[in-house]
Amino acid sequence: MTISPPLQAPPATRRAARGRMLLWQLLGLVLLLALWWLVTDVLRLYPPYVFPSPRAVWTEISYGLWGSGPQDGRLLAGIGNSLRRVLVGYAVAVLLGGVVGLLMSAWRPLRETLGAYLTGVQSVPSIAFVPFAILFFGLNERAVLFVVILEGFIPIALAVSGALMNVPPALRVAGRTLGARGLGLTTGVLLPSAVPSILTGLRTAWSFAWRALVGGELLVSASASLGAQLEIGRNTANMALVIATILIIGTIGGLFDALLRALEARVRRDYGLEVPQ
């Protein structure tokens, strides 16, 4: 008996489905903006300093990103500095988390002790570590990086350890039968098999690190950052700047998450774990 491959929609049908989904997403955005405009500009349910209109928020975004005044361009500078901090912290977290996760998967005492502690620490909100970071490192960039690395490191270590432990035993046996031992078995057989699960951990770690960055910058008041823009908006009662910064934070976080999600889906399809619709 032969097993037929799963039926897949033709490429044209898949492109049409993605187009319809994009259309629905754009329609939802337009409806949301229309509702916002109705509440603020037409019905005027709230004063502008409490709930500004879309136009006021867009003005803050345009001035902050490409304005030519002496105080303009602050959002653009903040985006650059925040991205630099989170990318550096995330890279360090991936490196440390990968090594620790590898050691945890190979040594059971470490897995059952450190793994339990990391699971407990992961349940603590990132904002709770900011006072510790400030007292230990001072009011500077190192305090922000510490929180970002900590929040990214834990999910990566747990994901790598869990992914390696969940590799099917048949693959371990096959690798050993072919002569792979120790580090060769890990790098040649176990890690390639665990890549899809590790990518899921990387995506989770990114969201943790991004949220930790904004919380750290907000309390540390790092100069020229998205967190600092939120603090400036609060101190000057500029709700439009606060909403503009929140929108930019959400957009950047969503774009990176979508990029990692696409990479994860591509890898899962290559591994035969997901059938394209």
Please provide the size of the chain in residues: 277
**Residue 55 falls within a domain, yes or no?**
no
Whole-number pLDDT of residue 9: 63
pTM attached to this predicted model: 0.84
Quick: pLDDT tens for 223-260: 788 998 998 899 999 999 999 999 999 999 999 999 99
**Residue 11 falls within a domain, yes or no?**
no
**Residue 22 falls within a domain, yes or no?**
no
**Residue 49 falls within a domain, yes or no?**
no
**Residue numbers of the domain that contains 200:** 92-271
Is it the case that residue 275 has pLDDT exceeding 90?
A: no
Domains: count for the chain: 1
**Residue 112 falls within a domain, yes or no?**
yes
Whole-number pLDDT of residue 1: 43
The rounded distance, in Å, linking the Cα atoms of 148 and 256 is: 16
- Give the model's confidence band at 222: pLDDT under 50 very low, under 70 low, under 90 confident, else very high: low
CATH of the domain at 175: 1.10.3720.10
